């Protein structure tokens, strides 16, 4: 009996020893991870301090009347120890080509990052201030904001570089059906802005998890195809719409020190199911539902310490079209000035980001992703300038708002997709 008692006495001690060895093994595994990739992320507040007009709706001319929630620029920098690159996004509508060119020049001067390795995008939020600049009639307070905005963008990149550390990345994909095709058939025969459940709509939620070597998230990159139009033209409070609400939700789950860049996919003809209205509860609901899916994807995504960086950039010219006066089908198309479209591809590890300087219809983006040789291909629109609405060939005889205001002729769809696919296929 005494012998049996002595033997049993070893069991708790043995358990402690096993737990200790497991802890040592886990610690050694973490410390033994070596990464060829560095990452750093930062965000800077870009909320205007002085009331200026808001953007996104032609009928809204008065200055904003208050701030519901702040706007931000985020910068996510990657380095493979040979090359640096940065993905920037802002809670704004878009940037015209002049602003884009001047800003990336300042970034290159301040950081040494080459222009072809810079993606400067906006998530097409309609709850922010005007971004049209370099007009002789631009009000002084708008010019002051634009100058501050430009410097804040540069500052965000500099801060992200200062935070560079060995990193691990992983890509996951989810689904969120809070978006819908908006090209609705109306009783008068025209195509209006509404809800078309039978129309094409990309529901993909692309999520990149960026971890430190202890697998703690540094940043969570999000891409979802949808207009930032939950708030409508009657709203005069600065807000980040669903992108801002989504970032807040994800930050609350994973910690406020985690940077959450939110970018817009191909969504020229895609609206949120909620809105446009002035109900901020609908913004929070959209952000919550999208955020819950992002949380699920993040928690199921593994990260790996790998990745070389490649980038390519080209400018193409599309045949120009004058804006039409009607949303009815089969309108006459009149030639206008040719339109510059900036295309960029950036490969970080096994993830490809394809940037387009305009509002790309969802079918075009879906096809590019489907035909890409890289499983993880992300379309970022409103990127590196502004080219307006970029429509499918078949949409022109159908009519609708997107076709009416588009500045490019049929054929633009394949000009974009063929060039982007060629650029993607040239990546190693």
φ/ψ of residue 24, rounded to 5:
-60, -40
Burial class (CB in 10 A: 0-12, 13-18, 19+), 40: buried
d(CA 202, CA 205): 9
Strands 262-264 and 204-211: unpaired
Q: Note whether 39 and 7 are within 8 A (CB).
A: no
Give the pLDDT score at 137: 67
- Condensed to tens digits (0 to 9), the pLDDT of residues 359-397 reads 999 999 999 999 999 999 999 999 999 999 999 999 999
Q: Note whether 390 and 337 are within 8 A (CB).
A: no
d(CA 356, CA 383): 5
Closest among 310, 309, 293 to 301, alpha carbons compared: 293
Quick check: helix, strand or coil at residue 245? Answer: helix
Q: What is the mean pLDDT of residues 181-208?
A: 97
Q: Note whether 178 and 205 are within 8 A (CB).
A: no
DSSP state of 363: H
- Condensed to tens digits (0 to 9), the pLDDT of residues 281-316 reads 999 999 999 999 999 999 999 999 988 999 999 999
φ/ψ of residue 333, rounded to 5:
-100, 120
d(CA 88, CA 261): 8
Q: Note whether 290 and 204 are within 8 A (CB).
A: no
| H helices present in 224-361, as ranges | 241-254, 280-299
φ/ψ of residue 350, rounded to 5:
-105, 20
Q: Cα 129 from chain centroid? A: 18
Question: Alpha-carbon Rg of the chain, whole angstroms?
Answer: 24
Angle between helix 362-371 and 412-425 (nearest 10): 30
Q: Which residues contact 384 (CB under 8 A, 6 or more apart)?
A: 100, 104, 118, 119, 120, 121, 313, 342, 344, 355, 357
Give the pLDDT score at 8: 42
Most confident by average pLDDT, 46-60, 122-136, 388-402: 388-402
pLDDT at 34 over 60: yes
- Condensed to tens digits (0 to 9), the pLDDT of residues 198-231 reads 999 999 999 999 999 999 999 999 999 999 999 9
Average pLDDT, the chain: 92
Q: Note whether 234 and 126 are within 8 A (CB).
A: no
């Amino acid at each position: 009996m005494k012998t049996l008692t002595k033997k049993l006495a070893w069991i708790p001690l043995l358990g402690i020893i096993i737990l200790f060895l497991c802890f040592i093994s886990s610690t050694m595994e973490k410390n033994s991870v070596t990464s060829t990739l560095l990452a750093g992320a930062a965000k800077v507040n870009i909320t205007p301090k002085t009331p200026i007009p808001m953007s996104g709706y032609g009928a809204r001319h008065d200055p904003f009347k208050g701030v519901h929630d702040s706007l931000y620029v985020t910068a996510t920098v990657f380095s493979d120890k040979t090359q640096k690159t940065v993905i920037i996004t802002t809670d704004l509508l878009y940037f015209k080509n002049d602003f884009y060119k001047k800003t990336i020049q300042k970034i290159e001067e301040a950081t040494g990052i080459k222009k072809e390795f810079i993606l400067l995008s906006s998530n097409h939020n309609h709850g922010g201030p005007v971004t049209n600049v370099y007009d002789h009639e631009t009000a002084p307070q708008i010019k002051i904001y634009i100058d501050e905005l430009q410097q804040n963008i540069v500052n965000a990149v500099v801060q992200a570089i200062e935070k560079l550390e060995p990193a691990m990345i992983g890509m996951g994909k989810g689904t969120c059906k809070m978006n819908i095709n908006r090209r609705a058939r109306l009783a008068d025969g025209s195509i209006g802005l509404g809800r078309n459940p039978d129309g094409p709509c990309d529901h993909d939620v692309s999520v990149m998890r960026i971890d430190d070597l202890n697998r703690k998230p540094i940043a969570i990159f999000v891409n979802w195809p949808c207009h930032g139009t939950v708030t409508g033209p009657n709203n005069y409070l600065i807000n980040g719409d669903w992108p801002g609400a989504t970032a807040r939700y994800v930050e609350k789950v994973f910690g406020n020190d985690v940077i959450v860049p939110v970018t817009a996919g191909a969504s020229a003809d895609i609206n949120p199911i909620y809105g446009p209205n002035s109900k901020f509860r609908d913004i929070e609901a959209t952000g919550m539902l999208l955020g819950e899916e992002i949380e699920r994807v993040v928690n199921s995504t593994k990260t790996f310490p790998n990745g070389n960086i490649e980038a390519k950039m080209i400018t193409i010219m599309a045949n120009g079209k004058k804006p039409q006066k009607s949303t009815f089908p089969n309108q006459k198309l009149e030639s206008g000035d040719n339109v510059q479209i900036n295309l960029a591809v950036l490969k970080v590890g096994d993830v490809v980001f394809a940037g387009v300087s305009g509002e790309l219809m969802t079918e075009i983006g879906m096809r590019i992703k489907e035909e890409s040789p890289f499983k993880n291909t992300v379309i970022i629109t409103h990127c590196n300038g502004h080219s307006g609405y970029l429509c499918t060939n078949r949409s022109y005889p159908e009519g609708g708002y997107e076709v009416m205001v588009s500045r490019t002729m049929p054929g633009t769809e394949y000009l974009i997709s063929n060039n982007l696919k060629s650029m993607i296929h040239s990546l190693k």
